[in-house]
Chains A and B, each alone.
Chain A
Amino acid sequence: MAEHPAWSWSDHERARLDVLLRHCIQCGLCLPACATWVATGDETMSPRGRLLLVGELLADPTASISEPSVRTALDTCIGCQACSAVCPSGVPFALLETAVEAARASTPPPDVPRPVPLPVLLRLEDRTWLRALAWSSARGRDLLRLAFGPHWRRRVQGRRLWGICARLAGSVPRAPRSDRELVACLDGLAKGPSTPVGRLERPARPRESVVWFAGCANEGLLPDSSRRLRELLVWAGAGLVEPAGNTCCGALAAHAGQPRRAAALQNANLAAWGTGGDAAAIVTEASGCGVAVRGYGDRLPLPQIDAMVWLAGAERPAFGRVPLKVALHDPCHARHAQGIVREPRALLRAIPGLILLEPDEPDVCCGSGGLWSLSHGDLSATLGARKARLLAATGADLVVTANAGCLGQIADGLAVLPGEAPPVLPLGDLLWYAALRAVRS
């Protein structure tokens, strides 16, 4: 029998897992929140199912983990935390995560594909490399369009190699680069006269100084949206401080099983922030980074706060009118891991003329899950299409979301929907546009 070192939990760890596990009353209320159950209807792919399997692992580690079906069930978990957000019994997600990580660390069974090699994963924290990825995925889409025609997404479905290429090219997030392009797009949707393009007004003096923590993926893949978000924060009264030495939050490294690297990145960030100076908070751009930074715990010199939450609480000028029906998608890292639900809605409701629409299944993950989508391509595509269908079913003119990963996933899903589908944009871009309309109107 093969060795599975990951399963030799220490007594201490076992006891901890055991206590957590005993919290689960097996009520099953978490099932409909779990994307992998929703997509498969298979209870081994549900939070309760996974917890039951963890229980079996505790009782009989080697026998259970040598079973591909057990390993697949655990490996398929997206880590979206929707389950712990709805669990009435307060089963901490940490339990599942520990078990799932252990399953991943064990020898992967032959039927679990891993198309993304580790070195590639770690390049994703490199912003130059990411820009190159954005550029090449755009060219990749051009090529696929050339080869398969305008309906290339549908035509490559079911083809293995092309399918992977198409997903790589298709789900890399993108948004209008120039302000002009963005404004033209939204003006077109709003069917109004065109809005003059310009910079947002800056208040004479910032009201609050905060540390700005950009996300690697945002800066790398959506540099202009990232810039517009910064402009928006400044417009709303933030004084952004960017300490030299700000680096990747380390989530990616931790995810890829590189705890030492993750710790080094954390230390580098903490060193850069020092004591925090006169800043009031660390404002994070990407919800994933937000969770990771919050995870620094006691070592943080300042409280972490998501950009949208900061904006919602800021004493900002009024937004201009945007007569659009907008459906909002909550990223799991915001909704479940940070409990951010009210704030983005409050921001959108503050825009005159805007009608906010809520899609069905708001707590179900879109199937992006960062790198998960690359290792679980088919399931991810199913989920993306489902999410896109539900968002489109609201009848919205526009879909917005605050996360780069969700953005790409939803765009990919909307693209394969039959019939007309609304475009999807970063939430920050829409808010920026609303702010721009205030200035000019």
Chain B
Amino acid sequence: MAEAGEDLLAALRGLLGPAGLLTGRAALSVYARDASHLAWGRPLAVALPSREADVARIVALCAAAGVPVVARGAGTGLSGGAVPPPGALVLGTARLTDLGPVDADAGAVRAQPGVLNAALTRHAAPFGLHFAPDPSSQAASTIGGNIAENAGGPHCLRLGVTSHHLRALDWCDAHGRDWTTGEPVAVARGIDLRGLLCGSEGTLGVVTAAWLQLTPEPGAVETLLAEFPSLEEATSSVATLLRAGLLPVAVEIIDRPMALTVEEAFGFGLPTDVEAVMIVELAGAADAVTTQAAATAGVLRRAGARAVRKAGDAEERLALWQCRKRAFGAVGRLSPNYVSMDVVVPLGQLSGLVREIQQVRERFDVKIATAFHAGDGNLHPAVHYDERREGDAERAHAAADAIIRAALRRGGSVTGEHGVGLEKLHALPWQLDAATAGLLRAVKDTFDPRGLLNPGKALPSAPVREGAEGYAPLPAAPTGPVFTWDSLTVCAPASTPLAGIQEQALAHGLWLPLGLPGQAAGWGLDAGLTAGRAVDRLLTGPSWLARATARDLLLEVWATTGDGRPFHAGAPVFKNVAGYDLVRLLCGADGRLARLQALTMQLRPAPAAAWGWRLERMAEAPDSASPAAAVAVGALLKALTSGGDGLAGHQAIMERGQEDGWLSVVLLAAGPDSGTSAVELRQRLEAPARAAGLRFVVAERRPFARATELAPALGVPAWALSADSWTALQPRPGRGAGALPPVPRRLIWQDAPRVVWTPESSAPLSPSSGPRGAAAWLADRIVADGVEQPLPQPDGGVPCHLLRSLKRCFDPDLVLGGPVWLTEDADG
């Protein structure tokens, strides 16, 4: 072994040069630790490659020598993910810091794994874009680490966690082979490797580069600071706020012990005589933000806030956030050691958990300071102790475990964003049932049969067998739809029609942003669409004002494997990184991995209003250049989205005359209601409309719940509402409508997710139609002439053999079928 180690070091030195391999005692000590305070053993050496391609070579050399590899970003992980087992090679990405050019049109950028989160946002800033996940560690933590932990942050309430902003990954497997997860498209159908790798803590593969989605900067931002004499009232006000239709970008709370710590450290001027301080940030179009801020302040006051004040200017807001983001670090001033926790519960359970934490504090006689990502139901209690005082550490850990158990009893999860790592391994079996744990282990074995990638992390270490002691029982699946209004979730059997769920939700001011019901057959939310199918297929037909797919909303599933093993993955919480993300893996897999039994989805506040415009170009200028028409539509939609005001769900319904240059466009959008919003939207549309020679014919507005009334008012053509067969095309990113080579005469352009629907035959749009043909711009054809297309075989760089093995983990006898490439081995 020692000799094998020497050989490996020599080979690595040959590859990386002396400066790329650290073997000195200093490095072995320093790289044995991360921010978690956990220690395991000394690594064999530390490799710091400067070339992306060397990552795979390093992993291959280690695989040949049988030496484990632990990827490491900046070592800010709090669960010990980057702490190496003795004798492992640490593969540091700190020198892989290249950032590609920002593709402003697609809102995407390619980043190497060592790029710092904050550096990425600075890179995108000149384009009016930013990377939405903003962990408090963003100044130091890396993109690779963010992906591996599926990091969240204060602003993930409205914008989602890292996996929502990941388009594609380049990665290397346990054998040192380079792969990609495929084309960065909006509706990535198929078995979601991207979602599986994200949050896998470096145990399934090493990320070598990522295509990330960037988010437009909001037009206006307002930050409120509310003082609550009662912590419980503060926590319960969060759901009230969301249910009032207000969707702030962030809702954070710090309790009094935390506020005292922060004040001592930074002297920002936070009130320390109240039990809770809440920070609420609203973003969007200027006037809408002002109205919402006033409404928010009202809700908070009624919910028990003693005072609500606005952060004055950008500088004060920045200071406030810095103060919040550094709160955690400030704990070090008060206590030499602490257990940092990361439990998450359904929103409606937040106050109950806070009460239980108070009891734990008294029962165990420990000090606890807590910072909450309250809007997500995610909280970080820090249980103080001093390792040098007899029994202190044990007491703190017992208290922490009591809090975890309390969170689990309330339907929560042991970790919302910090990951399992080494730290939460013991608690994972309290949350997972044995069947699910077995599936997780099978997934790991598929990717890394010899257990060389970050071994000993993320997965329960206990043997996994049917009915194994210590695992949680399988929770009961719902038998009918269950709405939990104060948690903003709906749990339902997979066979429940979505339209029914949507109607009930809308009556409560909430909705699933998958589209509006009430359209003709063939539309997304028609009577035939069940919750389960929306998850399996992601898209079935054009949907009125849809702005998401089920992948963005699914929190929890009950399912059975092909061979009939029931399992349960996820939890009814907004953030959850306990175990691999099986929930995402099942999204869009067309039911080829498991049969869905029931599921929980997240409800969102419904927009207040919907707007529609009808624009026309008359035949005076005969224009047969069909691409020009598509360019015009693209420019109009871009103008709608450009405001950074949180408006989404844009749609354009376009129809043009045969040869006579006539063109009509119906534009639809939804968002917060306010007089100037409408004016502003209209203003934004003026220039592109003029450029395309289009003039406004009708403009209409409706309360959102009655948005479908816009159809007759705007003269939406009959084909757009009742075509009997659709073709759904997904352009490659960065390709606007202008890139469609033979543009269909009639199309519905859906902006989020970006898909083009046309009632015309898909034949001229076949991928084989020449170099300038569809293949150049078409990423996926989801539906062709009314026939839902089978899962497309992924492009070359995607490891199809792994997809086939994954299929066999879930469906060993292949009873759930699937396309040939998925079910039959390529070489026999």
Contacts and interface: CB of A to CB of B under 8 A. Distances in A.
24 contacts: A24-B332, A25-B331, A28-B74, A28-B75, A32-B139, A32-B140, A41-B114, A42-B27, A43-B27, A48-B75, A67-B24, A67-B26, A69-B22, A69-B24, A69-B25, A70-B25, A70-B26, A73-B30, A88-B265, A88-B327, A88-B328, A89-B265, A89-B331, A89-B332
Contact of A26 (B33, B95, B118, B327): B33
Interface in A49-73: 49, 52-53, 56, 64, 67-70, 72-73
Contact of B330 (A31, A42, A46, A89): A89
Contacts of A72: 24, 26
Contact of B74 (A31, A53, A69): A31
Given A32-B118, A41-B114, A67-B24, A27 B30 contact: no
B89 to A, nearest CB: 15
B29 A53 contact: yes
Nearest to B327: A88
Nearest to B93: A41
Interface string B322-352: 0000111111110010000000000000000
Given A28-B35, A32-B116, A88-B332, A41 B94 contact: yes
Contacts of A360: 119, 122
A91 B330 CA distance: 10
A160 to B, nearest CB: 17
Contacts of A53: 26, 29-30
A46 B97 CA distance: 17
A256 B328 CA distance: 38
A72 B328 CA distance: 31
A72 B31 CA distance: 16
A361 to B, nearest CB: 9
B508 interface: no
A48 B95 CA distance: 18
A49 B25 contact: no
B30 A43 contact: yes
A64 B30 CA distance: 13
B137 interface: yes
Enumerate the 4 nearest inter-chain pairs by beta-carbon distance, A residue then B residue, closest first: A69-B24, A88-B329, A41-B94, A89-B332
A24 B37 CA distance: 11
Contact of B25 (A26, A29, A31, A67): A67
B48 A27 contact: no
A90 B265 CA distance: 7
B33 A52 contact: yes
Interface string B138-167: 011100000000000000000000000000
Interface string B371-412: 000000000000000000000000000000000000000000
B34 interface: yes
A69 B30 CA distance: 11
B438 interface: no
B257 to A, nearest CB: 16
A30 B95 CA distance: 17
B44 to A, nearest CB: 15
Interface string A17-47: 0000011111111111000010001111010
B75 A43 contact: yes
A3 B61 CA distance: 41
Nearest to B118: A32
A357 to B, nearest CB: 12
A87 interface: yes
B29 A56 contact: yes
Given A28-B137, A49-B30, A41 B92 contact: yes
A57 to B, nearest CB: 11
B362 to A, nearest CB: 26
A43 B30 CA distance: 7
Given A25-B35, A32-B139, A89 B329 contact: yes
Given A67-B24, A69-B25, A72-B26, A27 B95 contact: no
Nearest to A29: B140
A69 B27 contact: yes
Contacts of A26: 33-37
Interface of A: 22-32, 37, 41-44, 46, 48-49, 52-53, 56, 64, 67-70, 72-73, 86-91, 360
A27 B75 CA distance: 8
A22 B36 CA distance: 14
B139 to A, nearest CB: 6
Nearest to B264: A90
B174 to A, nearest CB: 24
B26 A69 contact: yes
A70 B27 CA distance: 8
B724 to A, nearest CB: 56
Contacts of A43: 27, 30-31, 75, 92, 94
Contacts of A69: 22, 24-27
B664 interface: no
Interface string B30-61: 11011111000000000010000000000000
Nearest to B97: A41
B95 A41 contact: yes
A356 to B, nearest CB: 15
A44 B140 contact: no
Nearest to B48: A41
Interface string B83-115: 000000000101101000000000000000010
B76 interface: yes
Nearest to A74: B26
Contacts of A31: 74, 140
Nearest to B326: A88
Nearest to A67: B25
Contacts of A88: 265, 326-330, 332
A27 B136 CA distance: 11
A86 B138 CA distance: 13
Nearest to B122: A360
Contacts of B141: 28
A73 B139 CA distance: 23
B151 to A, nearest CB: 14
Contact of B76 (A29, A37, A41, A49): A29
Contacts of B333: 23, 89-90
Nearest to A88: B329
Given A29-B140, A42-B94, A68-B24, 11 more contacts: A30-B140, A32-B119, A43-B94, A44-B30, A49-B30, A52-B33, A69-B22, A70-B25, A88-B326, A89-B331, A90-B330
A53 B31 CA distance: 11
Contacts of B74: 28, 31
A44 B329 contact: no
A27 B265 CA distance: 16
B350 to A, nearest CB: 26
Contacts of B27: 42-44, 69
A410 to B, nearest CB: 21
Nearest to A33: B139
